[in-house]
Amino acid sequence: MKSEEREILKGLRNKRTKEAAFVQCMNVYKKPLYAHVRSMTGNHPDADDALQNTFVKIWKHVDGFKGNSALYTWMYRIATNEAITIINRRQKMHAVDIEEGRVEGEQTDGPSGDEIKAKLKEALEQLPEKQRKVFEMKYFSEMKYEEIANLTGTSVGALKASYFHAVRKIEAFLKDD
């Protein structure tokens, strides 16, 4: 664990310094955690909700952090779980009405980026969930394989294979258009 992480954790576990340490924790980690949940959810409102839920859980459960991994890895896992919860909730709310050929509850915000981002997102949606998650953590969040292995409980070799296959599938998807 990095010295900055140790300092933040020590402050979070001390009742007198918990609030100041929490502010420091948010200042240090909100951007990388936001980028991660945004890449998973695909939009700002859901990413914002996931990030807020993440920091609430960090505040409530920091005393339960055992220190078996880096503090950031623990927070990253919480953020991942919060994003998945929001994605699952959104999928339940957006039931497909096959007869009418439309999606109920569909958001009407319009396109949120250029065509390349939309095409990449479409390619990611075609991947199996494990490959998609590994790709997002490695490519978007720039995590090391060892960090991903700690989060997922998967071997580094299996993660490298998943990433390799994900890249090949994305390349093929993008070339087909």
pLDDT for the residue 58: 93
What radius of gyration, in Å, describes the C-alpha atoms of the chain?
Answer: 18
Tell whether 24 and 51 lie within a shared domain: yes
Same domain, yes or no, for 103 and 161?
no
Strands 96-97 and 102-103: antiparallel
Residue 104 is part of which domain span?
Answer: 1-110
- Coil/strand/helix, residue 96: strand
* Percent of the chain whose predicted confidence (pLDDT) is above 70: 84
Q: What is the mean pLDDT of the chain?
A: 81
The answer on 173 and 127 residing in a single domain is yes
Query: Do 137 and 98 belong to one domain?
Result: no
Residue 14 has pLDDT above 70, yes or no: yes
Percentage, residues of the chain above pLDDT 90:
29
Please tell me whether residues 77 and 139 are part of one structural domain.
no
Which one of 54, 79, 110 terminates a domain? 110
The answer to whether residue 132 scores a pLDDT higher than 60 is yes
Q: Is 174 helix (H, G, I), strand (E, B) or coil?
A: helix
Considering the domain architecture, whether residues 118 and 155 belong to the same structural domain is answered as yes
Judgement on whether residues 83 and 4 belong to the same structural domain of the protein = yes
Q: What are phi and psi of 170, to 5 degrees?
A: -65, -45
Per the structure, the count of domains in the chain is 2
Which pTM value belongs to this model?
0.58
Contacts of residue 153, Cβ cutoff 8 Å, sequence gap at least 6 = none
**30 and 99 housed in the same domain:** yes
Are 140 and 148 in contact by the 8 Å Cβ rule? The answer is: no
Task: Name the domain boundary from 69, 95, 110.
Answer: 110
pLDDT of residue 1: 62
With beta carbons less than 8 A apart as the criterion, state whether 56 and 22 touch: no
- C-alpha span between 136 and 134 (Å, rounded): 6
Scored b (16 or more CB within 10 A) or e, 3-35 reads: eebeebbebbeeeeebeebbebbbeebeeebbe
Return the pLDDT at 6. Answer: 87
Considering the domain architecture, whether residues 9 and 87 belong to the same structural domain is answered as yes
Residue 104 has pLDDT above 50, yes or no: no
pLDDT tens-place string over residues 17-47? 999 999 999 999 999 999 989 988 888 999 9
101 shares its domain with 133: no
CATH number, domain containing residue 136:
1.10.10.10
